[in-house]
Chain A
Amino acid sequence: MSENKTVKFIVTRQDSPDSAPYEEEFELAYRPNMNVISALMEIRRNPVNTKGQATTPITWDSNCLEEVCGACSMVINGKPRQSCSALVDQLEQPIRLEPMRTFPVVRDLQVDRSRMFDALKKVKAWIPIDGTYDLGPGPRMPEKKRQWAYELSKCMTCGVCLEACPNVNSNSNFIGPQPLSQVRLFNAHPTGAMNKAERLEAIMGDGGLANCGNSQNCVQSCPKGIPLTTSIAALNRDTTFQAFRNFFGSDQV
């Protein structure tokens, strides 16, 4: 009997960034250990929908296929997640695939995630070490802190937290949880801490930290288990002090 088993997909498709989305159904033969990407590849091999009509292959984004690059994120059965680690055996059928609409849809399941990379530039999510001469070795980081910071560094800019956040939408300019947690990561680094105030001031600007409404969907949804809401609360504390320093002046540089 198992050779007749099939897998059913309902895919939300869209031909161009401005065209209207539509649903298309696909049914394909079950194979053991399928994931959503392998199913999409199977459809690409023979793009025929359940009505028997020939159609175009589905467009999607993917790269590493081991849940570290974040490129293949999409909404699977209502929840945003990576399609590479979405195993067909663990999903309820029919499996519904939709693009993450928080981002501009390029085509079908492929979205443009550049707003997150722009946000990383905006919050200065890097450690400036370039100079006209050798700056020498930086301060050492305690091992325990390194391990703690490693958890924050797991962010793969996949966009799931932005998709789940009720305050990231077309009515708001909120940059979302992803770049905020990176501010905490780079501020925690002994060399990065030298530019702490610059990053805090960046997230105190328009569309920044203060737009968080504490729905805490981000921390529930993050595939890497990054403590996003703890990062946000910690930055709330840091920016409170920064705001006082900015207003009253400070004896610390």
Chain B
Amino acid sequence: MAGNREFLNRRLHSLLGVIPIGLFLVQHLVVNNFATRGPEAFNNAANFMGNLPFRIVLETVIIYLPILFHAIYGLYIAFTAKNNAGKYGYFRNWMFLLQRVSGVITLIFITWHVWETRVAAAFGAHVNYDMMADILSSPFMFGFYVVGIISTIFHFANGLWSFLVSWGITVSPRSQVISTYFTIGVFIILSIVGISTLLAFV
């Protein structure tokens, strides 16, 4: 049974990174950007998201399970590669290496992020503007969040590029060049959204 599952696992891994995890990431970055309109706007948005009907089901099916699979299988993929960007310094080979490095950084970041917000919330902490402002008041944590968010967005944007190749959507070299520019755009735009949110808390 386990024999021919590799194809399915790889395709599923690629798909889950975009749907639903990628979509969730975009939604999460956009909703949190309410912070730029002040604490009250952020708290209203956080309350709205936090009180969605069937929240636990939505979180489990759309976020936790897909991320868990993507992370565990992704670690396996990352550590079966023998990186050689030093010897073959082509653009795509660097992206290959960065995709694996950013994946590991993102996993560390997300684990901490979930611990600090969702797990804390389960123990009674209030997830609101003050909580984030408190966390980000430490320069170390601010730096950690900047690195974590940039790395997550990079992993998503570059992963979107390879999703398009892995599913056979971009086949010709030209289509792959165009999707490179497109995903660079995604990376820049989402980075601006994410970093401006962070800056709103300090």
Interface of A toward B, CB cutoff 8 Å? 78-79, 164, 166-167, 169, 171-172, 204-217, 220-221, 227, 229-230, 232-240, 243
Contact = CB atoms under 8 A, between A and B. Distances in A.
B6 A213 contact: no
A6 B7 CA distance: 53
B171 A237 contact: yes
B96 A215 contact: yes
A78 B87 contact: yes
B165 A236 contact: yes
B83 interface: yes
A220 B88 contact: yes
Q: Report the 10 A-B pairs with minimum CB-CB distance, sorted nearest first.
A: A237-B168, A210-B10, A215-B96, A236-B168, A216-B92, A169-B82, A233-B171, A204-B7, A215-B93, A171-B80
Interface of B: 3-4, 6-11, 77, 79-84, 87-88, 90, 92-93, 95-96, 161-162, 165-173, 176
A230 B82 contact: no
Given A166-B82, A217-B92, 11 more contacts: A79-B87, A166-B84, A169-B80, A169-B82, A205-B4, A214-B92, A215-B92, A233-B168, A233-B172, A243-B7, A243-B8
Contact of A214 (B6, B7, B79, B166): B166
A221 B3 CA distance: 31
Of the listed residues A171, A208, A211, A233, the one surrounded by the most CB atoms of chain B closer than 10 A to its CB is A233
A217 B93 CA distance: 6
Contact of B81 (A166, A208, A230): A166
A206 B104 CA distance: 25
A214 B10 contact: no
A240 B168 contact: yes
Given A166-B82, A230-B172, A210 B77 contact: no
29 contacts: A78-B87, A79-B88, A164-B84, A164-B88, A166-B93, A171-B79, A171-B80, A171-B82, A204-B4, A206-B6, A210-B7, A213-B162, A215-B95, A215-B96, A217-B93, A220-B88, A220-B93, A230-B173, A233-B165, A233-B170, A233-B171, A235-B168, A236-B165, A237-B169, A238-B168, A239-B7, A240-B168, A243-B7, A243-B8
Contact residues of B: prevailing secondary structure: helix
Nearest to B5: A206
B76 to A, nearest CB: 10
Contacts of B169: 237
A207 B90 contact: no
B185 to A, nearest CB: 19
Contacts of A240: 11, 167-168
B176 A233 contact: yes
Nearest to B11: A210
A243 B11 contact: yes
Contacts of B170: 233
Contacts of B166: 210, 212, 214, 236
A211 B176 contact: no
A175 to B, nearest CB: 12
A227 B168 contact: no
A220 B79 CA distance: 23
Contact of A234 (B3, B6, B10, B171): B171
